[in-house]
Amino acid sequence: MTVHNDALRDRACLIVHGPDHPGIVAAVSALVSRQKGNIVALDQYSDDADGGAFFQRVVFHRPGLAAAMPEIKADLAETVGGLGLEWALSDQSVPKRMAILASTSDHCVLELLWRHRRGELNVSIPMVISNHTKIAEDVRSFGIPFFHVPSQGPDKSEAEARIIELLAGNVDVVVLARYMQILSEDFLDRVAVPVINIHHSFLPAFIGAAPYRKAHERGVKMIGATSHYVTKDLDEGPIIEQDIARVDHSMSAADLQVRGAYVERAVLSRAVQWHTEDRVIRHGNHTIVFA
């Protein structure tokens, strides 16, 4: 049975993107009109400089949306597909299913669970997976299932296989909430849904491990955090959101880590919210964010 968010009943989100040419907005809005939808929000961006890519997000209200989805999709395939554009239509009353992977740090995972409980994230959370057990009790106190998948030794394939078993068919997005394991390219292929990570630096500064130590050594006056889609190239995926906090000479690397945790949880939460509301479009190694 699908979970429904009644506050968003009959609300659809349409993403359209592809090569820009005149009349796309008109064609899309005519389609929404003829499908009895009323546009609630519309964002549009044309990337002239980089060769003319077009991006649009339309939210519309359509009474009886669930029943009408096949017909609307057929119209989109013909009209928008016929213009050589890609499109995706989602029913916003059906929350995305989001799995969270974490290790021992609780600040990111608890922030997501807490925002979810407050009704601020339009997701369901079928599971939290960790390679440690430290956060199990906290996770379960939110009524969320917790699974322990240890990742011992250099060969991660067994742990990854176990995680894939848990995720397969059950999730629409995976969030790495300070999950301290590098996922293999094979894992990313098999999981087949977007994977969002939080990196504890202002990428591309301090790529890789121990960014707070490196930041301390360099003597920076600000630290940052970056949420990005995970690709096979470590810390190189499309950036969704970044933010920073001021630091000073009196702070040790450990102090930077304490301060940074607050940036990390805020940045990851915003990235997750935007992704799950279909506000983020990937384009090459960039993102268009209609925040």
Give the binding site for its own copies (CB under 8 A). Answer: 21-26, 29-30, 32-33, 37-49, 107, 110, 114, 118, 120, 141, 202-206, 218-222, 224, 238-244, 248-250, 252, 258, 262, 266, 285-289
Residue 189 CB, shortest distance to its own copies, in Å, is: 23
Closer Cβ to its own copies, 43 or 186, answer by number? 43
Residue 159 CB, shortest distance to its own copies, in Å, is: 27
What would the two tokens of residue 231 be? 């690709």
**3-state SS, one letter per residue, for 126-165:** EEEEECCCCCHHHHHHCCCCEEECCCCCCCCHHHHHHHHH
Closer Cβ to its own copies, 2 or 252, answer by number? 252
Closer Cβ to its own copies, 46 or 90, answer by number? 46
Residue in the block written with tokens 């945790």: 261
Q: Could you list the active site residues?
A: 235
The H-or-E segment that residue 72 falls in is helix 65-82
Closer Cβ to its own copies, 63 or 150, answer by number? 63
What would the two tokens of residue 229 be? 């889609």
Closer Cβ to its own copies, 56 or 151, answer by number? 56
Q: Is the link from the previous residue into 95 a cis peptide, with omega within 30 of 0?
A: no
Closer Cβ to its own copies, 165 or 217, answer by number? 217
Using the CB atoms, write b or e for 53-84: b if 16+ within 10 Å.
Answer: bbbbbbbbbbeebeebeeebeebbeebbeebe
Residue 86 CB, shortest distance to its own copies, in Å, is: 17
Please list the helix, strand and coil fractions of the chain in percent, rounded to the nearest 5, in that order. 35, 30, 35
Residue in the block written with tokens 């961006």: 45
Q: Give one DSSP letter per residue of 220-259, joined into a string.
A: -SEEEEEEEE--SSTT-SPEEEEEEEE--TT--HHHHHHH
What would the two tokens of residue 113 be? 């669970």
- In 83-217, beta strands by DSSP E: 86-91, 96-102, 123-130, 146-148, 173-176, 195-199
Residue 250 CB, shortest distance to its own copies, in Å, is: 6
Residue 154 CB, shortest distance to its own copies, in Å, is: 30
Residue 155 CB, shortest distance to its own copies, in Å, is: 33
